[in-house]
């Protein structure tokens, strides 16, 4: 556009602007008020946004954190969350056991398995709790809401667990359906036998076996095994030959609970 035309356009724009100003100056007050209200409605949001952004920038200080410090804080938070979840899981497990079993004055100590038997018999393992936590020989061990063994040896911070399948394990039990008592003996092959049960008692596959109440060790019967085979004893046809297996998968265990009776 020629320079002369640009000057003429600017003069015309200025003339119209001044004319509009005179018109607005001498216009009735009612009209100017409506114009002002319309202006407020149209431009109030962007103006308020600008004020808020400006105030926020002045009121909130900017803290600059280095990458290393940020990583340290993130790692610390991750550790705290993991420890919280682990503690919650232990509390939940112990409270669930307490609800399911009438433990009376007994308490439960959760322990992790740190060393299992070297063979595939799953007859014993070591746990990471000991005498300093109140553990002692003979105390019952729980997992999956069932008895899986007893403590056979204990030191200050460790204890050895003898499973119910161990050949040296002998636990008084009751076969629930027939209400007959006996002594369950481990076979060393992930099973146990209940000998000397007279044939007159009606024993069948699937019957539930409970560990009997023992003063100072167990205040109420707790499930321990299930009958998988029952036949006449080859040595004495008047007796049953009863085979039972644990009701929990012992080879998959990672932690257990120890029943500690209060004096």
Question: What does pLDDT average to over the chain?
Answer: 77
pLDDT (tens digit, 9 = 90+) per residue, 30-57? 545 554 544 455 445 444 555 554 445 4
Average pLDDT, integer, range 195-201: 95
Find the domain containing 205 and state its range. Answer: 99-260
The pLDDT assigned to 115 comes to: 74
Number of domains in the chain: 2
Of the listed ranges 73-82, 169-178, 215-224, the least confidently predicted one is 73-82
Q: Is residue 105 located within the same domain as residue 219?
A: yes
Q: Is residue 33 located within the same domain as residue 156?
A: no
Q: Is residue 151 located within the same domain as residue 212?
A: yes
For residue 128, how many other CB atoms are within 10 A of its CB? 15
pLDDT (tens digit, 9 = 90+) per residue, 15-35? 555 555 545 444 555 545 554
Average pLDDT, integer, range 145-150: 92
In a domain, 202, yes or no: yes
> CA-CA distances (angstroms) from residue 34 to 18, 42, 259?
21, 12, 84
Q: Is residue 132 located within the same domain as residue 208?
A: yes
Q: Is residue 27 located within the same domain as residue 125?
A: no
| Exposed / middle / buried, residue 176 (Cβ in 10 Å: 0-12, 13-18, 19+) | middle
The pTM assigned to this predicted structure is 0.63
Please enumerate in sequence order all residues whose Cβ is within 8 A of that of 201, keeping only pairs 6 or more positions apart, or say none.
175, 178, 180, 240
In a domain, 117, yes or no: yes
pLDDT-based confidence at 69, cuts 50/70/90?
confident
Domain with residue 232: its CATH number is: 2.40.10.340
Q: Is residue 29 located within the same domain as residue 110?
A: no
In a domain, 69, yes or no: no
In a domain, 75, yes or no: no
More confident residue, 216 or 185: 185
In a domain, 171, yes or no: yes
Q: Is residue 250 located within the same domain as residue 123?
A: yes
The pLDDT assigned to 22 comes to: 47
pLDDT (tens digit, 9 = 90+) per residue, 90-131? 766 666 666 565 566 678 899 999 876 655 566 899 999 999
The pLDDT assigned to 33 comes to: 53
> CA-CA distances (angstroms) from residue 9 to 1, 2, 21, 69, 164?
11, 11, 18, 62, 105
Average pLDDT, integer, range 159-183: 94
Looking at the chain, the whole-number percentage of residues with pLDDT higher than 70 is 60
The pLDDT assigned to 234 comes to: 92
The pLDDT assigned to 63 comes to: 59
CA nearest to 163, candidates 194, 121, 196, 103: 121
């Amino acid at each position: 556009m020629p320079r002369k035309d640009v000057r003429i356009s600017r003069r015309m724009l200025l003339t119209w602007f001044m004319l509009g100003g005179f018109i607005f100056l001498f216009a009735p007050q009612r009209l100017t008020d409506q114009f002002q209200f319309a202006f407020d409605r149209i431009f109030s949001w962007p103006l308020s946004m600008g004020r808020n952004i400006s105030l926020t920038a002045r009121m909130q200080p900017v803290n600059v954190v280095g990458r290393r410090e940020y990583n340290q804080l993130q790692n610390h938070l991750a550790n705290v969350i993991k420890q919280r979840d682990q503690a919650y899981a232990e509390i939940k497990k112990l409270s669930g056991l307490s609800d399911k079993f009438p433990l009376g004055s007994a308490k439960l100590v959760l322990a992790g398995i740190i060393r299992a038997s070297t063979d595939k018999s799953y007859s014993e393992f070591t746990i990471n709790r000991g005498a300093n936590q109140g553990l002692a020989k003979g105390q019952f061990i729980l997992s999956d809401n069932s008895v899986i063994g007893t403590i056979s040896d204990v030191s200050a911070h460790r204890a050895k667990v003898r499973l119910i399948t161990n050949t040296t394990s002998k636990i008084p039990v009751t076969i629930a359906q027939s209400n007959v008592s006996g002594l369950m003996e481990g076979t060393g092959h992930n099973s146990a036998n209940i000998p000397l049960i007279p044939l007159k008692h009606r024993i069948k596959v699937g019957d539930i076996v409970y560990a009997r109440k023992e003063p100072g060790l167990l205040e109420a019967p707790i499930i321990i095994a299930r009958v998988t085979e029952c036949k006449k004893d080859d040595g004495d046809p008047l007796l049953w030959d009863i085979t039972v297996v644990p009701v929990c998968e012992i080879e998959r265990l990672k932690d257990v609970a120890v029943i500690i009776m209060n004096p």
